[in-house]
């Protein structure tokens, strides 16, 4: 996203504590004189001269956000509060990256933005689910109370280059396991369904949302309405990598949604947005990225041993 903004001629300040992100992902951007990086955790206040804020802060994969659930909740709630205060002080427009997790394990399929959700407030995923729901509440309260210009999107499963090999989400897990010749682990019987949106399509949706008229506040679903079972995804990854990995089943985690697919009618009507990248095409690009990353890491490991 920083790259797209820079290419469009913006000055960009990236604020990150790198708790889950990789600083090396920014290496190609440091040649831009209009780009700067501040290592900071938005749980603590910060003051910047800015016109727009994209708040994407928060671990997004279950292994990462469950590793420190209290910190996850603090990032979602206190971090959002600090960013909203900054936007209010500077008269800035502010974007919130919310999540399909606000719908929980849905009783309505596909999920429209009007669906209020089925979330377990005391379950192991609640630190993320309820943290993001609370952040949405804060955004709309700031809009009503202070007239703040807000933009809220709900992101469905997204994948693509620059993910961490240990990200913990299903696409990266399957690709890394397949490329490493390890068993591909499916939780449950693999019949649960997900939608998978390629990162370039998602970022395009971000910018359309931020540039939309002030009355377009969201929340707006951004995701690919194509629906695939986890077992179908595993088979596709094995086929595209040429791996001999076996598929093994493990017990289903608590509160894992059985179905997840966005209703993107609002995005189509208000933003003119829909994803363009087919799952197979996006996987080919993502596999090529992980193949390069794993080859580099293996080469470094060999040098260390030598």
| Gap between the Cα atoms of 97 and 264, Å rounded | 16
Which alpha helices (H) appear in the chain, and where do they start and end?
Answer: 2-7, 62-67, 69-74, 80-90, 126-146, 170-179, 199-210, 230-241, 265-271, 279-305
Residue among 99, 219, 234, 220 at smallest CA distance from 157: 99
Give residue 191's region: left, alpha or beta (phi > 0; psi -120 to 50): alpha
Of 54, 65, 103, 128, the catalytic one is 128
The DSSP result for 259-277, as a single string, is ---B--HHHHHHH------
Is the CB of residue 55 less than 8 Å from the CB of residue 46? no
| Gap between the Cα atoms of 85 and 77, Å rounded | 12
For the question of residue 142 being annotated catalytic, the response is no
Angle formed by the axes of helices 279-305 and 230-241, nearest 10°:
60
**Which residues are designated catalytic?**
128
């Amino acid at each position: 996203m920083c790259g797209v903004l820079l290419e469009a001629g913006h000055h960009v300040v990236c604020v990150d504590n790198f708790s889950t992100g990789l600083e090396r992902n920014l290496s190609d951007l440091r040649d831009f004189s209009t780009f700067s990086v501040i290592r900071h955790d938005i749980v603590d206040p910060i003051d910047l001269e800015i016109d727009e804020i994209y708040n994407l802060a928060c671990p997004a994969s279950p292994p990462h956000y469950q590793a420190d659930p209290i910190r996850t909740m603090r990032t979602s709630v206190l971090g959002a509060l600090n960013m909203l205060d900054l936007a209010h002080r500077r008269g800035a427009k502010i974007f919130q990256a919310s999540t399909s997790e606000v719908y929980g394990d849905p009783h309505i399929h596909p999920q429209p933005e009007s669906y209020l959700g089925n979330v377990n407030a005391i379950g192991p995923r609640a630190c993320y689910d309820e943290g993001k729901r609370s952040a949405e509440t804060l955004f709309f309260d700031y809009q009503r109370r202070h007239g703040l210009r807000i933009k809220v999107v709900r992101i469905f499963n997204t994948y693509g280059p620059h993910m961490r090999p240990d990200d913990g989400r299903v696409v990266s897990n399957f690709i890394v396991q397949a490329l490493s010749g390890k068993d591909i682990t499916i939780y449950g019987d693999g019949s649960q369904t997900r939608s998978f949106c390629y990162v370039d399509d998602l970022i395009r949706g971000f910018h359309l949302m931020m540039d939309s008229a002030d009355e377009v506040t969201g929340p707006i679903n951004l995701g690919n309405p194509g629906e695939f079972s986890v077992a179908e995804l595993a088979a596709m990854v094995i086929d595209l990598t040429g791996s001999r990995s076996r598929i093994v089943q493990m017990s289903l985690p608590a509160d894992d949604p059985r179905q997840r697919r966005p209703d993107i009618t609002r995005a189509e009507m208000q933003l003119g947005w829909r994803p363009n990248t087919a799952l197979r095409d996006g996987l080919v690009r993502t596999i090529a990225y992980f193949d390069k990353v794993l080859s580099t890491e293996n080469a470094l490991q060999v040098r260390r041993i030598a």
